[in-house]
């Protein structure tokens, strides 16, 4: 795999590398669009780990909230999707550009080294591929499908149109506040994982609230319970989510004080603006088996 240079040797080569040598100006023609991310990136198939879980995990791990390396891998992949969503989904921007955009410390040296190392790792894991462009030149980065289908990137809504009614492609948007507010740098691996899951479940559409039972979380995302708890707490503390305990009865109605459910709501400033993708119909909100067992166990003690 190629070495990623800082780009000082290619500043005058063309307009893109010239812009990349200075501070990033990422909100230009894509202002307000955010990053379109396939739900297959965060959801797992059968018992296989999701691409998100694979990014967070170390080389010898299969799941978890990830350390600093995992957090940077996920943040960089999401940032590449955001910046390269416009065809042809490629770039020759140097490491410094991405270090500044992700607000890494010392972007000229340590930050650029971290980006170069991370680019090599996400290439090894199948999220990008590169092509050499000659001695002293930054290699071209080609974005790959983030669901790890083994193909080059295509906008998810274009893929959905091609698939037609029989297709299964679904996506959500990561809003630009992820970068402008500093979440891209401040969140831990667990916080970042739960942020993406929150955006997928309630980041756009009419309802900004969601809830996650432990069983559903493990089944759908394949991440540990500690990741769920730590990540949600971090998002509440950061002001991205609010949390309330909401009571429902066995028919899914509120106000009867039968079952207590933890409900999270995404603060409006952190939701995607202007989203138009219709949400899939959701089943009537009813207690889960876990909630029923907890309820009956509690009342058996009282009797």
Per the listing, tokens 């955001």 go with: 82
**Is the separation of the CB atoms in 63 and 74 below 8 Å?**
no
Question: What is the domain partition of the chain in residue ranges?
Answer: 8-302
**Which of 240, 196, 182 lies closest to 65 in space, CA to CA?**
196
| pLDDT recorded at residue 198 | 95
Rounded CA-CA distance 16/284 in Å is 50
Tens digit of each residue's pLDDT, the chain (303 residues):
444 433 333 333 334 444 444 455 554 444 556 899 999 999 988 888 999 999 998 764 444 445 678 999 999 999 999 999 988 999 999 999 999 999 999 999 999 999 999 999 999 999 999 999 988 889 999 999 999 999 999 998 888 888 777 777 889 999 999 999 999 999 999 999 999 999 999 887 778 999 888 888 999 999 999 999 999 999 999 999 999 988 877 665 555 556 788 899 999 889 886 544 444 434 444 555 565 566 556 656 555
Query: Which token pair is 283?
Result: 């089943």
**Which of 195, 201, 212, 211 lies closest to 172 in space, CA to CA?**
201
pTM: 0.77
Peptide bond before 109: cis, by omega within 30 degrees of 0? no
Q: Let me know if 97 is exposed, middle or buried by CB neighbors in 10 A (0-12, 13-18, 19+).
A: buried
């Amino acid at each position: 795999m190629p070495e990623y240079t800082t780009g000082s040797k290619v500043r005058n080569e063309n307009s893109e590398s010239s812009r990349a040598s200075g501070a990033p100006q990422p909100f230009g023609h894509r202002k307000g669009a955010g990053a379109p991310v396939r739900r297959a990136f965060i959801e797992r198939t059968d018992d296989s780990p999701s691409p998100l879980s694979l990014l967070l995990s170390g080389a010898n791990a299969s799941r978890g909230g990830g350390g600093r390396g995992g957090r940077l891998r996920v943040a960089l992949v999401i940032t590449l999707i955001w910046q390269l969503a416009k065809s042809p989904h490629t770039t020759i921007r140097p490491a410094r550009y991405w270090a500044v955009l992700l607000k890494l410390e010392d972007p000229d040296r340590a930050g650029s080294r971290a980006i170069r190392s991370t680019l090599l790792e996400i290439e090894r894991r199948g999220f990008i591929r590169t092509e050499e462009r000659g001695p002293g030149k930054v290699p071209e980065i080609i974005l790959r499908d983030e669901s790890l289908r083994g193909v080059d990137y295509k906008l998810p809504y274009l893929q959905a149109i091609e698939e037609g009614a029989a297709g299964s492609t679904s996506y959500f948007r990561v809003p630009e506040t992820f970068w402008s507010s500093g979440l891209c740098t401040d969140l831990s691996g667990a916080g970042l994982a739960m942020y993406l899951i929150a955006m997928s479940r309630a980041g756009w559409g009419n309802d900004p609230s969601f809830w996650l039972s432990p069983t559903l979380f493990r089944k759908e995302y394949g991440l540990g319970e500690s990741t769920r708890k730590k990540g949600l707490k971090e998002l509440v503390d950061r002001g991205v989510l609010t949390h309330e305990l909401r009571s429902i009865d066995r028919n899914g109605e509120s106000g009867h004080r039968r079952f207590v459910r933890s409900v999270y709501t995404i603060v409006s400033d952190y939701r995607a603006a202007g989203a138009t993708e219709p949400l899939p119909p959701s089943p009537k909100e009813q207690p889960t088996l876990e909630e029923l067992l907890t309820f009956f166990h509690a009342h058996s003690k009282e009797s």
